[in-house]
Structure 1
Amino acid sequence: MKKMLSLALSASMVLSLAACGGSGKTETTAAPAPAATEAASEAATEAGSEAASEAGTEAAASALDALDPVTLTIYSPGNENSVPTKTILEYKKLVEEASGGKITLDAHHSGELGNDAEALQSARMGTIDIIFAGTSGFTEFYDKAKILDLPFLFDSAEQAYEVVNGEIGEKIFADLPSTGLIYLAEGDNGMRHISTTNRPVHTAADVEGLKLRVPTSQMYLDCWEALGANPVALALNELAIALSNGTAEGQDNATYHLVANATYDDIKYFSFINYMWMGCTMAANSDSWDKLPAEYQEILKEQAKVAAKYSFDTIAEDNKAATETLKAAGVEFDENPDIQSFIDKLGGNDYYLRYKDEPWYNQEILDEILAK
């Protein structure tokens, strides 16, 4: 657990020949000054690089021209205003531009092709070519991704982006093809904090006995039980009513989720404890992927990383807007809670060892994440 080309050059060489009348001597041209020689060399190198780059671009375009166009179905279960849906629409634009229109992404969202579980199954079967959905849904059939559900793994969403979209992310999802899917990139779904109806939370001691709504996941229950709270596993659509009637006295959720899901009417206090990061995974159906030429695969993979960054940037902006909305509604914010007290209450890194016998537990990957 932790706390997170072009340079344009020009050179001119002025050579003057002075003839001495009647001298009978032949004048020799002076050697260029060192600076002029260097500038000319750099200019030539730059021109060569630009020419090579243009040639490479033209060659790539020519290679794409020779390929048959393809249409792929991409899906996000979220509604049209959700960040995952905004992300697949951005991805559609990026891919179609990068491929010169040779790849068309047929985008669907808002439950058109089913909820998360149904859509993931469809993607594995090949009815959907590319899926972008919550990583927690992937853990139902790919438990190696559960390592990302460990608490206090990342200090910030920015740190999570660097980790999950680098070599570590590739390692975590290296065996995803065994499920019928190919990993493309990891997007953002927010950093989880805590908000309550009846008490401010500054230290771990403040959650003692708190009836806190958490998702229906054992790892969330484990964490809050270890912290001394009374976690209540409820579906998201039950949360607002639970907060209103006292079944729950708080929720662990990302800032923007409170506003997007309208679960803040009874909330009075909010603490930025950064206790768990949530991801959204973009993956392609294996059979659909294998049928694509390498050039198309490269474009889809590269632009998936760009789209993933877009999701992180979009959520960062949404979090800022949500914070202002919540403040206007009278919610009090603790922007500097004692995060270390939560880590200490869990027992530091030793907390993770409770899962050491689970098939998904990987100490090497965990150590790599913690070292970032």
Structure 2
Amino acid sequence: MKKNKFSLLVIVSAILTLLIAGCSSSTGGDAAAGKKMNLKMSVTISDTSTWYKAAEQFADEVKENSDGRINIKVYPNEQLTGGDSGKAVESLSKGTVDLTYNSTIIYSILNDKLGVLSAPFLFKDAADVDAKLAGEGGEEIKQIIRDFGVEPLGFGENGFRQLTNSVQEIKSPEDIKGLKIRIPGIKMYTDLWTLYGANPATMTMSEVFTALQQGTVDGQENPIDVIHSSKLQEVQKHVTMWNYSYDPLILGMNKKLYDSLSDEDKQILQAAADNANKYQIELARDTEKQQIKEMEEAGVKFYYPTEEEMAAFKEKVQPIYDDYKDVWGEDLLNLFLEN
């Protein structure tokens, strides 16, 4: 009788072992499969921006498709890092922030090669941007980002950067001379604006409104969505629409966290990211006209340079390509210069 009981226990134990093994070998085979997660996502600008709206859509879709297991809280204005975008990307790389929407300008702090996307007058128009970021050049950018601990879940759009100022209409490089212009903290922009004869000043985005209001700087450069959502039209009189530098966004996730996920959860996040990026880009492009109209109604004057004037702006900063092709990597640069 005891022998029969022992045999029965052995059989039951074996069945349980097989069941546990079967459960643990589900798609991905990760310990994180089916795990409940509360994640933090940082966005550089306010909750009225297309960045934030897309991040909210991303969070909602992930929550729905994971049956509430994966919850993402979105923080605008870089609240998690005291308004500092550079710290946000560093925190993402280290894993103290889980997800961010950040410009590749900020990523270039970690790797100078990423500054190639901000090269002056590199892209012709939105169609040129879409084609090149979807091609080999875009894939090279994603791999560079992976190398420092961030999984890129795709490109969003901050947009073409425009110049605002409170002094005068800008029609030529001569008009820029002597102006104090706030720029992001990367050396290439410092060199570029120095070529124009400006006095470039770096500061975090959270400081810009006050600096403009107090006259610490005369102007700044950013895409229309950032200008509008940051209410810079309240302290700036002139906008020059010259598309001088393009600014992609990266929807990034800490790579160590991403790699720990099951295949199913990776698919949920990637699908939601694809939808959010598409939505953000379309929204940014669709709303720009309305944002310009609202800024004009607030008294801001927009100037659109002629082809001849644009040629003068481009010629003045061509030395940037000679100075930075080795920094960016000539092969990488050529992927974006090729038609």
TM-score band, normalised by shorter chain: 0.7 to 0.9
3-state SS in 1 of match to 2:233? coil
1:263-274 equivalent positions in 2, closer than 5 A: 263-274=232-243
Residue 91 to residue 346, structure 1, CA distance change in 2 (3 Å): same
Alignment-derived partner of residue 132 in structure 1 = 101
1:94 aligns with 2:65: no
- Root-mean-square deviation over aligned CA pairs: 2.8
Moved more, 154-163 or 310-319: 154-163
Which residue does the alignment assign to 2:161? 192
Query: Distance in 1 between the 2:100 and 2:204 partners?
Result: 22
Q: Could you tell me how far apart the structure 2 residues matched to 1:234 and 1:129 are?
A: 25
Distance 1:371 1:96 in 2: 41
Structure 2, unaligned runs of 5 or more: 1-25
| CA distance, structure 1, for counterparts of residue 165 and residue 255 of structure 2 | 43
- In the TM superposition, residue 278 of structure 1 has moved relative to its aligned partner by 1.8
User: Can you list the C-alpha shifts for 1:232-272, whole angstroms capped at 9, x where unaligned?
Assistant: 33443443444445443322222232332222234332211
Q: 1:131 to 1:235 in 2, by over 3 A?
A: closer
1:305–1:158 Cα change, 3 Å: farther
Question: How many positions carry a matched residue from both structures?
Answer: 304
Which residue does 1:257 correspond to in 2? 226
Q: Decide which of 134, 137, 141 is 1:172's aligned counterpart.
A: 141
Q: Which residue of 2 aligns with 1:142?
A: 111
2:253 to 284, 288, 291: 284
Q: CA deviation at 1:307?
A: 1.5
What secondary structure sits across from 1:108 in the alignment?
Answer: strand
Q: TM-score when scaled to structure 1? A: 0.72
User: Which protein has the bigger helix share?
Assistant: 2
Q: Which residue of 1 aligns with 2:18?
A: none
Match of 2:9 in 1: none
Superimposed CA distance per residue, residues 290-329 of structure 1 (whole angstroms, 9 cap, x where no aligned partner): 2223343234334323321222122223422221122112
Structure 1 unpaired stretches of 5+: 1-61
- 2-side partners of 1:75 and 1:100: how far apart? 17
In structure 2, what residue type is equivalent to 1:90? Answer: Q
* Conservation of the 8 A alpha-carbon contact between 2:156 and 2:278: yes
Distance 1:137 1:281 in 2: 10
Contact 2:27 2:263 in 1 (8 A): no
Rounded to whole Å, the distance in 2 between the matches of 1:241 and 1:109 is 21
> Under a length normalisation based on structure 2, what TM-score does the superposition of the two structures give?
0.78
1:37-52 counterparts in 2 under 5 A? none
CA–CA distance in structure 2, aligned partners of residues 221 and 117 of structure 1: 17
Q: Which amino acid aligns with 1:276?
A: S
Select 2:316's aligned residue among 325, 333, 345: 345
> Structure 2: how far apart are the matches of 1:165 and 1:91?
20
Comparing both chains, which one has the higher relative contact order based on Cα–Cα distances under 8 Å and sequence gaps of 6 or more?
2
Q: Which moved more, 1:281-290 or 1:106-115?
A: 106-115
**C-alpha separation between the residues in 1 aligned to 2:213 and 2:254?**
42
Q: What letter is aligned with 1:317? A: D
Per the alignment, residue 82 of structure 1 pairs with 49
Once the two structures are superposed, residues 196-239 of structure 1 have per-residue CA deviations (whole angstroms, 9 ceiling, x without a partner) of: 22221123333233332323322111111112333233443443
Q: CA deviation at 1:100?
A: 5.9
3-state SS of paired residue (2:326): coil
> What does residue 123 of structure 1 align with?
92
Per the alignment, residue 106 of structure 1 pairs with 72
Q: Distance in 2 between matches of 1:92 and 1:237?
A: 24
Three-state SS of the structure 2 residue aligned to 1:364 is helix
- C-alpha change, 1:75 and 1:242, in structure 2 (3 Å) is closer
Which structure is larger by alpha-carbon Rg, 1 or 2?
1
